[in-house]
Every structure is written in structure tokens, then in C-alpha cells.
Copies of this chain bind each other. A is one copy, B any other.
Amino acid sequence: MGRWEPDAESRFRAAAIELFGEVGYDQTTVAAIAERAGLTARTFFRYFADKREVLFNGSERLQQTMVDALARASAEASAVDAIAAALASAGDFFDDDRRAFARLRSSVIAANADLRERELIKMATLSAALAQALQDRGVSQPDASLAAEAGVAVFRVAFVQWVSESERRDYVEIVNESLARLRTLVTG
């Protein structure tokens, strides 16, 4: 690592998301991101492999947080209660300070087919990891996959609501409500 830059990662992230919104994702270069951030491209590559990673470099940490929360759920917790704990644990990532970034990120991804694919892969990977974590708790198949897929369905829908312009409730409240709604739908 070279010279220490205060808060370089978040400066790159803010600069990149601004530029993606202003000139488009495809048209934004790492050089332009670095210039906007007042840093160098060389420093950029200490934090991100490429510009796409600005949007996705939190995925692994998010997944690990959810898998850890699932594993820590009490032994008596049902598969869906363990999934609910995993979904709620993501609240540490999706606090109100992140909402403005998450909104911009969602609109950038919605506008770009490659990024939408990357997001789908991320969700499929998350679903597989949660299913495996449920199996590690002794939940058999196909229940582990069903509960994990349903959990990711709830997560997707809750996340879309959380980043919608008019939404003010926090992520955990929304995700818990989504899970309750799924329960009502499936049993109603």
C-alpha cells in the first residue's frame, strides 16, 4: 500500500456512483472516477479490481454476514426463523446512511444488462449459500433450498421497497413485513 488516503474507498465510491448516474456506467472510466475523487487511478486499483467492483465489492461480506447470522440462530429455530435472522442481519449494511447510495446503485444496475446479470448471479450465489447453511443446521433437501429461495425472494422484494423514492421505513422493518406478507399469501 502507498500513501495513506483518508477515506479513499468511500470517496471513490461516491465519485463513481455520481458519474455512473451523470454520464452512464459504460461511459465512465476509472480515470474519471479518480479525478472526481481527487485521487489517482493507481490508488483506485488498491481498492477495486475494476469499476464494476464499486457496485459489487460488498457482496461477499453481505453473504457472510447472513450465513453467520443463520448459523448463530438458536438450535430450536425453524428453517424460516433462521432465514429471518439472516435477512435481519443485513440491516447493518442497509442503514439510512447507505440508502442514497443504494438508490443510485439500483438505478445504475437497472439500466445495464450486464450489471443486472451480475446482480442475478449474486442472488443465486446467496441463495445457494443460505441453503448450504441450513443443511449444516440439519435441514434436509428440498426444504433447505425452498426456505433459502423464499428468503431471497423476500430479500429482493424488501430491497426494492427500501430503495424506492417514497420509502422512509428502515430495512429491517420492511424485510420483517415482507416475510409476514409472504406468510399471509402462502396460507391465505
Query: Which residues of B have CB within 8 Å of A152?
Result: 153
Give the number of copies in the complex: 2
A156→B186 CA distance, assembly (Å) = 17
The 29 sampled A-B contact pairs (Cβ below 8 Å) are A78-B185, A80-B186, A80-B188, A116-B121, A116-B124, A117-B121, A120-B120, A120-B121, A120-B124, A142-B158, A142-B160, A142-B161, A142-B178, A142-B181, A143-B181, A143-B185, A145-B156, A146-B178, A147-B185, A149-B153, A149-B156, A149-B157, A150-B150, A150-B153, A150-B185, A153-B153, A183-B187, A186-B186, A186-B187
Taking CB as reference atom, which chain B residue is nearest A155? B149
A145-172 contact mask (Cβ, 8 Å, vs B): 1 or 0: 1110110111011101100000000000
Query: Which residues of B have CB within 8 Å of A181?
Result: 142-143, 146
The 5 tightest CB contacts between A and B, nearest first, are A149-B153, A120-B120, A145-B157, A142-B157, A186-B186
Query: Which residues of B have CB within 8 Å of A188?
Result: 78, 80
* Contact (A182, B146) CB under 8 Å given A80-B188, A187-B187: yes
A186→B150 CA distance, assembly (Å) = 9
Interface range on chain A (Cβ under 8 Å from partner): 20 to 34
Query: Which residues of B have CB within 8 Å of A160?
Result: 142, 145
In the assembled complex, the CB of A116 is this many whole angstroms from the nearest CB of chain B, namely 8
Taking CB as reference atom, which chain B residue is nearest A158? B142
Taking CB as reference atom, which chain B residue is nearest A83? B185
In the assembled complex, the CB of A154 is this many whole angstroms from the nearest CB of chain B, namely 7
Scan residues 90-126 of chain A and give those whose CB is less than 8 A from a CB of chain B: 116-117, 120-121, 124
Contact present for A153 and B146 (CB under 8 Å): yes
Q: Does residue A79 face the partner (Cβ distance < 8 Å to B)?
A: yes
A152→B153 CA distance, assembly (Å) = 9
Known: A143-B181, A146-B157. 18 other contacts (CB 8 A): A78-B188, A79-B185, A80-B188, A116-B121, A117-B117, A142-B157, A142-B158, A142-B160, A142-B181, A145-B157, A146-B153, A146-B154, A146-B178, A146-B185, A147-B185, A149-B154, A182-B186, A186-B187
